[in-house]
Amino acid sequence: MPSNTLSADVPTLGWWYGGQEPTTRGVPIWTKLIENMGGAYRARLEKDPLLVHSGLFLDTPSAFTNPTLGQVKENPTRYPLLQQAVEAFDGRCSCPVVHSKADAAVDFVIVIGHEKLTIELQRLLAPSGVKVVPLPKSGGVVDLDDAYRELAHSQQVRTYFYGEPALPSSLAGLSGSTVPLGLQLNPYSFQIPWDALHVLRVGEGNAAPTSALPLGSSHVLSPTRLTRVDPGGPAHVVRLLNTVLAIVRVDPEDRLETAKSKVKEEEGEKAEEEVKEVEIDEDEVPYREEIAQREVLGFVVITAIDTLKRKYTILSPSPGKLPSTVAIAGSIEWVDSA
């Protein structure tokens, strides 16, 4: 989720992973997202020569310090997520405004307060010309515990819907204040039918749908497969209440062919046309997997589920119709305690 910014007029792009940090199970979708982010960066380079000289900062999650996270049998190298990020944001590919090897490529990795990690990365990245720079922790810095991280995360989600909290009067008058006053927002709560919003999840299916396989082929696992969430199922399975959803764009070419087909059968001497439905996988989704790997349009939260009326209660940052009828759910939940 995009973090709240002190500059409300700065346009941002956001990709939806669905969790707070990369996990072993989520590495395939994480890899796709980083590749797409790198592609967006290179596309921007081709249009904006100033960006080449402005530079780029990449802030990585703490999961990058895990040397085995993301490893595969074909490539058991250490710190694969870090190396993938360095490669994905290498802007030297076919950009006409790039004149030297140092332009638009990751050339420094800064490690704060972790000597062992610094040494390992220096050995790993030296052949690619990336310099690893150690920085000591500032005095008084302490590690954040899980309770504080959870509180900060909850406040970040709240800021997305309600805006920046007002500064205390004792701080508002101080010189150097950067948070402008009056940035409170008014989110909009409304109900929509279940059919008006298709909620999907990534990577929770065990096998590809039968109708998507060639005749005689066996089921194959797809770690980035989209599965449909049935809001009428058991709550502990559905996990939709208070869940943050990412609204994604769906283009006409993203739709797959329907899983129903017409079959002609001959019975005896008379030819009769019968319409038979091909057996459909309950989780089958009529959209390409790529819709979950592109930039999101925004975020909403399901604050209530009415199983009798078959409706969601949605908290949205703005009134009006949702920009898309498809949303991706993850593991992030948020309770509006305001």
Q: What is the pLDDT of residues 224-252, one digit of tens each?
A: 889 999 898 887 667 899 999 999 999 99
Q: Where in the chain is the domain with CATH 2.40.30.330?
A: 184-205+223-255+285-337
Residues of the chain by 3-state class (helix, strand, coil), percent to 5: 25, 20, 50
More reliable by pLDDT, 50 or 222: 50
Task: Indicate the angle between helix axes 80-88 and 27-47, nearest 10 degrees.
Answer: 20
Count Cα neighbours of 94 within 13 Å in the Cβ-side half-sphere. Answer: 3
330: pLDDT strictly greater than 60: yes
Mean pLDDT for the chain overall? 80
Question: Which pLDDT does position 312 carry in this prediction?
Answer: 95
Task: Give the pLDDT of residue 263.
Answer: 35
Q: Which two tokens stand for residue 99?
A: 């004149």
DSSP secondary structure of 26-90: THHHHHHHHHHHHHHHHHHHHH-HHHHHH-------GGGG-TTTT-BTTB--SSHHHHHHHHHT-
Confidence band, pLDDT 50/70/90 cuts, at residue 52: confident
Least confident residue range of 55-69, 130-144, 148-162, 255-269: 255-269
Average pLDDT over residues 280-294: 78
C-alpha distances (whole Å) from 253 to each of 103, 257, 297 are 36, 10, 18
Give the homologous superfamily in CATH for domain 184-205+223-255+285-337. Pre-mRNA cleavage complex subunit Clp1, C-terminal domain (2.40.30.330)
The top-scoring range by mean pLDDT among 34-38, 96-100, 160-164, 256-260 is 34-38
- Asked if pLDDT for residue 280 goes beyond 50, the answer is no
- CB contact set of 24 (below 8 Å; sequence gap of 6+): 69, 70
Question: pLDDT tens, 105-153?
Answer: 788 999 998 899 999 999 999 988 899 999 998 888 888 888 998 998 9
Element (H, E) at 148: helix 146-162
109 residue type, one letter: V
Q: Is the pLDDT of residue 284 over 80?
A: no
pTM: 0.79
